[in-house]
């Protein structure tokens, strides 16, 4: 990982293969504003129309009075006609056949005409009434059909809108803390998880023109993908690998004798931790180193300072040619004063042990080492590694001490970010000191700790900090993380009972009666009754919002953000996989691209997006309590 040897410079190809997909991903991460991951927000399923199951009722018309009257008259008309017809025969029967026979016939014909006329009139009246009622009924049916058509159109429009809303709704949203947090503590996780988190968060931070210093003490190059994306975007990148690059940058370059003494004394104090008389020992170390460093000419390096301490202790050989004769003479003059007390001798022994572990050939030390340790712009990554555990430990402390000096000197910008990956071994006092000075300078601090135990638990929720919990495999650590997230009241099923019973009864009666008459009777009866009683009891309990087992089984790139604003605490589940930015339906990002380069839903064939040690599939993250896999997604592999 050496992008400063060519990557990021205009006209020079980076030492890796860059695809169009990589460039598109880097562009998306750098131009979306600052965010730390992606929260999966599944849209609400399409909802049915409120009246989907209630079509308009067909109106029921009341029969008008005129129609009822016409029907009544029509029914009585034939009876009236029959009566008239029967009565019309009476004159003919009375008069008989004779002179008045013609009058009887005329009377009969007149009555018959009246009856027929009445029947015709009532029939016409009924026809008109029925026609008017049929017209009203047709109008009502037309109005009903219109209402049904509008109802169906409203339901169809509602369904189309719901389907469109569901299809176009954002599935992922960038996650950022609500408060302007000064410190972010990351607990748990794996190497791939940290790599993804740094790639996502770091790229978005660099995209806001902020500077970033990453101190990688993990020996796993967790900032590699961040460096890769920064180089693709032509962002200034500096990578320092210690102890290999100690001579190239000079950890003490640009410091006066007093400042260099303070840096080494600070490193020794961090290494010592909260031991007895730690403050006194720190003062003694600083005083001794100031006297020794003041006797040396420029340049002041770790190797020359180590040689000076050995000269005071009597272990320096003149054949080494590290110190000049004048410097040796100046040191011999003050040797007796420096080693006058046993405590000073012990301090020199401790300092000499520290310097002996980190010294290298610094004959080619540059003069701009301070600028390389703390970037004036862009990204700087300082990694430490050694097969020698004590040397690795010493390098970590000196690097941290130099960063503390830069913070005290005010050489940082308020938008800068410091990331310390693998901060577990530095100790709580050192991390609290770093947090204090970073906050004082307005620099944001990100602490990435593999474990949540011992003194590190005391960091949870302190100061203006937010917390990210990644996978915590240990049960005790997961319980501590769940305690931080908090508890809440919830109704929980506490008891369930089922009672089943059956009752059976059988009876028989035999009777005989004697008298003037005799009789006998016999009867039998049988009854069966079954009963089932069930009961359920729920209890209001104060339980974990997120169970510890959930934290133990988090996907590699998933995390839980615990934040607080002025009103309330916020707990959000998110995913740090940078490949999510390539998906479709991500809020704040353009539509996703397919493997062929077209716009639309990303194809699984596009995976893996970037080369990485192990496949890390994108899994939607939802709290609580599971992380379901809802859609095929590309894979992101940190390299």
pLDDT value at residue 102: 67
| Neighbouring residues of 405: CB distance < 8 A, sequence distance ≥ 6 | 255, 259, 262, 263, 266
What is the predicted pLDDT for the residue at 613?
31
Digit-coded pLDDT (tens) for 225-281: 999 999 999 999 999 998 888 877 778 888 889 999 999 999 988 888 776 677 888
User: pTM to 2 decimals?
Assistant: 0.74
Q: Which candidate, 224, 245, 472, 520, places its Cα nearest to that of 369?
A: 245
Residue 197 neighbours by CB distance under 10 Å: 29
Nearest to 73 by CA among 135, 131, 133, 127: 127
Can you give the length of the chain in residues? Answer: 639
Q: Any residues with CB less than 8 A from the CB of 465 and at least 6 apart, and which?
A: 181, 182, 183, 184, 185, 435, 459
d(CA 388, CA 445): 28
- From 272, 268, 330, 265, select the one nearest 296 (Cα to Cα): 330
The whole-number pLDDT of residue 493 equals 61
pLDDT digits (tens, 9 = 90+) for 42-52: 889 999 988 88
User: How far apart are the C-alpha atoms of 560 and 269, rounded to whole Å?
Assistant: 34
pLDDT for the residue numbered 514: 65
Q: Are 258 and 290 in contact (CB under 8 A)?
A: yes
Q: What is the C-alpha separation between 578 and 585, in angstroms, rounded?
A: 15
Residue 167: asked if its preceding bond is cis (omega within 30°), the reply is no
Q: Residue 341 to residues 268, 273, 468, 515: CA-CA distances in angstroms?
A: 19, 23, 49, 139
Residue 563: per-residue pLDDT = 86
pLDDT of residue 470: 95
CB atoms within 10 A of CB 615: 12
Q: 3-state class of 320 per DSSP?
A: helix
Tally Cβ neighbours within 10 Å of residue 542.
Answer: 8
Q: What is the reported pLDDT for 551?
A: 92
- Least Cα distance to 633 among 620, 614, 621, 624 occurs for 620
Is 410:204 a contact under the CB 8 Å cutoff?
Answer: no
Q: DSSP assignment, residue 589?
A: S
Q: For the chain, which residues score pLDDT lower than 50?
A: 5-13, 365-371, 594-619, 621-636, 638-639
CATH 3.40.50.11440 fits 1-43+170-247+377-494+536-639, yes or no: no
Strand 519-544 vs strand 417-421: parallel, antiparallel, or unpaired? unpaired
CB 130 within 8 A of CB 42: no
Which tokens is 477 given? 């650590």
Smallest CA-to-CA distance from 50 within 144, 158, 157, 165 is with 158
Backbone angles phi and psi of 637, in degrees to 5: -125, 110
* Residue 288 and residue 304 in contact, taking contact as beta carbons nearer than 8 Å: no
- Per DSSP bridges, beta strands 379-384 and 212-216 are parallel
Rounded to an integer, what distance in angstroms lies between the CA atom of residue 446 and that of residue 461?
A: 14
Q: DSSP strand E in 451-605: where?
A: 465-469, 487-513, 519-544, 558-564, 569-575
What lies within 8 Å, CB to CB, of 351 at 6+ separation is: 264, 265, 268, 285, 288, 289, 309
Peptide bond before residue 273 is cis, with ω within 30 degrees of 0: no
Q: From residue 125, give the alpha-carbon distance in Å to each of 73, 130, 213, 433.
A: 9, 9, 102, 107
């Amino acid at each position: 990982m050496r992008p400063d040897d060519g990557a990021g410079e205009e006209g020079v190809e980076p030492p890796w293969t860059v695809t169009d997909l990589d460039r598109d991903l880097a562009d998306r991460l750098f131009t979306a504003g600052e965010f730390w991951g992606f929260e999966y927000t599944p849209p609400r399923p399409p909802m049915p129309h409120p009246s989907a199951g209630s079509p308009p009722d067909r109106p029921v018309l009341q029969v008008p009075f005129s129609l009822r009257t016409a029907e009544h008259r029509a029914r009585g008309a034939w009876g009236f006609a029959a009566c008239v017809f029967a009565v019309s025969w009476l004159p003919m029967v009375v008069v008989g056949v004779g002179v008045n026979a013609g009058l009887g016939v005329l009377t009969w014909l007149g009555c018959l005409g009246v009856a027929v006329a009445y029947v015709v009139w009532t029939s016409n009246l009924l026809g008109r009434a029925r026609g008017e009622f049929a017209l009203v009924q047709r109008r009502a049916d037309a109005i009903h059909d219109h209402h049904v058509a509008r109802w169906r159109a409203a339901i169809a429009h509602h369904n189309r809108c719901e389907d469109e809303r569901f299809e176009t709704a954002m599935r992922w949203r960038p996650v950022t803390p609500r408060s302007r947090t000064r410190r972010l503590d990351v607990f748990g996780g794996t190497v791939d998880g940290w790599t993804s988190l740094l790639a996502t968060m770091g790229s978005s931070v660099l995209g806001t023109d902020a500077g970033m210093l990453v101190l990688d003490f993990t020996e796993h190059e967790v900032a590699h993908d961040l460096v890769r994306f920064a180089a693709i975007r032509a962002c200034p990148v500096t990578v320092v690998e210690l102890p290999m690059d100690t001579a190239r940058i000079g950890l003490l370059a640009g410091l006066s004798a007093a400042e260099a003494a303070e840096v080494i004394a600070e490193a020794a104090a961090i290494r010592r931790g909260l031991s007895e008389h730690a403050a006194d020992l720190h003062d003694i170390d600083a005083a001794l180193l100031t006297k020794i460093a003041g006797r040396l000419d420029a340049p002041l390096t770790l190797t020359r300072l180590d040689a000076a301490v050995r000269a005071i202790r009597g272990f320096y050989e003149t054949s080494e040619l590290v110190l000049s004769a004048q410097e040796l003479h100046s040191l011999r003059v003050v040797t007796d004063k420096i080693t006058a007390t046993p405590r000073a001798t012990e301090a020199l022994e401790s300092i000499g042990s520290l310097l002996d572990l980190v010294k290298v050939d610094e004959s080619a030390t540059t003069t701009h080492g301070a600028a390389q340790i703390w970037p004036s712009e862009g990204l700087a990554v300082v990694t430490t590694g050694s097969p020698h555990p004590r040397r690795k430990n010493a390098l970590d402390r000196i690097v941290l001490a130099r960063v503390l000096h830069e913070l005290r000197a005010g050489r940082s910008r308020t938008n800068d970010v410091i990331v310390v990956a693998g901060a577990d071994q530095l100790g709580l006092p050192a991390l609290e000191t770093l947090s204090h000075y970073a906050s004082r300078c307005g620099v944001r601090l990100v602490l990435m700790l593999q474990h949540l135990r011992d003194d590190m638990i005391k960091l949870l929720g302190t100061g203006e900090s937010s917390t990210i919990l990644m996978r915590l495999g240990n049960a005790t650590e997961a319980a501590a993380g769940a305690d931080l997230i908090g508890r809440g009241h919830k109704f929980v099923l506490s008891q369930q009972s089922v009672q089943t019973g059956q009752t059976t009864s059988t009876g028989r009666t035999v009777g005989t009666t004697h008298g003037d008459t005799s009789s006998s009777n016999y009867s039998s009866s049988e009854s069966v009754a079954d009963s089932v009683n069930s009961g359920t009891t729920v209890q209001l309990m104060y339980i974990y919002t997120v169970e510890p087992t959930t934290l133990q089984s988090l996907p590699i790139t998933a995390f839980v953000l615990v934040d607080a604003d002025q009103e309330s605490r916020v707990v959000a589940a998110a995913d740090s996989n940078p490949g999510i930015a390539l998906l479709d339906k991500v809020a704040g990002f353009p539509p996703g691209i397919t493997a062929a380069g077209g716009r639309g839903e990303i194809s699984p064939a596009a995976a893996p997006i970037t080369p990485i040690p192990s496949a890390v599939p994108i899994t939607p993250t939802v709290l609580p309590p599971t992380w379901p896999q809802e859609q095929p997604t590309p894979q992101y592999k940190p390299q």
